Structures are given as C-alpha cells and as structure tokens.
Amino acid sequence: MRDFCLEGIKAKVKQHKSGLLDARLYAQSAVLLPLLKENDGSLSLLFEVRSRNLKTQPGEICFPGGRLQPGDRSEKEAALRETCEELGLAADSIEIWGGLDILVTPFQQIIYPFPGFLHEPQNIRPNPLEVEEVFTAPLDRLLRLTPEYHEITLQVQTPADFPFHKILGGREYRWRRATWPELFYEFEGWIIWGLTARILHHFLSIIR
C-alpha cells in the first residue's frame, strides 16, 4: 500500500495543470473566421460550403477549419493549417488574431475559433475534395441580421445493462434534461446554422 502524506498530495496537485476533464474523449477542432476586404474597401466574412462528397455534414455551411492533428503545436496553428489546405492559400498571407471563447458541445466536441484576415483573397483556390464553393457576406449586413432561435432537448438514454439497482430511485431516477440553442441566419438564400451560427453569433456580439 502506498504511503500517502499531506505534503506529497499537495505537491502533486500544485504540479497538475488544470484542463478539461476527459478531454481525450472529445473531438477537438479549430476554425478560422476569415475576414477580407472587398474592392470597395468594406469588410466581408468568408464562408465555405462543404463538398457534397464528404461523409459528415455534406453541403453545409462552415468556416475553414478541422481536427487538431498530432503535429499541430497549438489550436491556432491547426486553424491556419486547415485554412491553407481548404482555400489553397499561403500561410504568410493569413493573419490570425486572438481566439474567441472555446465552444464545448454536448456532442463530445471542442471547437477553438480564431478570427483573422485574408491578405490575398484573390489567390483563393478551394480544394474540391473538401469545399464545394465559398461565398462572402458583408460584415455590416451580418451585424444587422437577427438570427432565428430554437432549442432542442437533450435526454439521457441508458443501455439495457445499466445497473439501476445501484442508484437511489432505480429505474425511476430523475435524470436531468438539458436544452441546446440552435440559431439560424439567412443570407441571400444561404442558411447558416448549427455550430457555425453559434460561433458567428459570438463573434458578432463581441465586435458589435
């Protein structure tokens, strides 16, 4: 049996760097909110339409980005790498600013959003394996949009072999329910919703 002492426990706790409990169980991604200047000098935000050949969320609207890879030194670097791969841009033509709030979903996802600026948007060459097309939305118009708001309910489902006999209340145990907000932005026939809309709403609330 190990001999635990107060000083030893204190030392281990002080050495521990706090993070998200069970983060390894979450899919971690980073996205870029890419601003660019139009010919008239106004600012627009670029969106991607995912390739319809993708297995997950084909044809949906998103920001450039993707999963963190073992070689990424940071979430910011992952956002830059994915943007370069998807838009065909050079890394030194993309300026990334500080991160927004981290989005943790009940669907075991962690998303790190980074606003930034595309210095050479004329060089965009979307990767057809991942991106069907891109479009831009003027920032001033996005700021005037009011998203449609809905809520979905998340409910616990237990497996057949769940040990109800070990908890007070048994099968009548009152599990908590949760709601998850869903926002819908409509812009010139495009529907921006889901996590992209949540991140967009957060960004607009900061700069408004």
> What per-residue confidence (pLDDT) applies to 43?
98
Question: What CATH number labels 22-207?
Answer: 3.90.79.10
Q: Parallel, antiparallel, or unpaired for β 27-37 and 109-118? A: parallel
> What are the pLDDT digits (tens) for 170-199?
999 999 999 999 999 999 999 999 999 999
> What per-residue confidence (pLDDT) applies to 136?
98
Give the confidence band of 1 by pLDDT, cuts at 50, 70, 90.
low
Give the confidence band of 59 by pLDDT, cuts at 50, 70, 90.
very high
Model-level pTM? 0.92
Average pLDDT of every residue of the chain: 96
Could you give the percent of the chain with pLDDT greater than 70?
A: 99
